[in-house]
């Protein structure tokens, strides 16, 4: 049981770094320009200007 306590004590400070890297990866994936998503975003951006008929 002492082994798991030492292991937890070792990894506890790394949680912040791991979460920051995960958050950065998600933001990079969302913001990364891609042709397919760019076309989708352009069509989504035009939704407020479409005629309601």
What is the per-residue pLDDT across 1-53, written as a single tens digit (0 to 9) for each?
899 999 999 889 899 999 999 999 999 888 887 777 788 888 888 999 988 75
First to last CA, the chain: 68
Q: Is residue 49 part of a domain?
A: no
- For the chain, the 3-state helix, strand and coil shares in percent, each to the nearest 5, are 80, 0, 20
Q: Is residue 53 part of a domain?
A: no
Which of these, 43, 20, 45, 41, lies nearest to 32 by C-alpha position?
Answer: 41
Global pTM exceeds 0.85: no
> pLDDT at position 18, please?
93
The alpha carbon of 51 is separated from its chain's Cα centroid by a whole number of angstroms, namely 34
Our count of domains for the chain comes to: 1
Biggest CA-to-CA distance, the chain? 69
Q: Is residue 50 part of a domain?
A: no
Q: Is residue 48 part of a domain?
A: no
28 lies in which domain range? 2-43
Q: Is residue 30 part of a domain?
A: yes
In angstroms, rounded to a whole number, what is the distance separating the alpha carbons of residues 32 and 42? Answer: 15
Q: Is residue 34 part of a domain?
A: yes
Q: Is residue 29 part of a domain?
A: yes
């Amino acid at each position: 049981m002492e082994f798991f306590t030492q292991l937890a004590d070792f990894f506890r400070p790394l949680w912040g770094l791991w979460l920051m890297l995960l958050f950065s990866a998600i933001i990079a994936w969302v913001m990364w320009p891609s042709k397919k998503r760019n076309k989708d975003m352009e069509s989504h951006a035009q939704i407020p200007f479409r005629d309601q008929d």
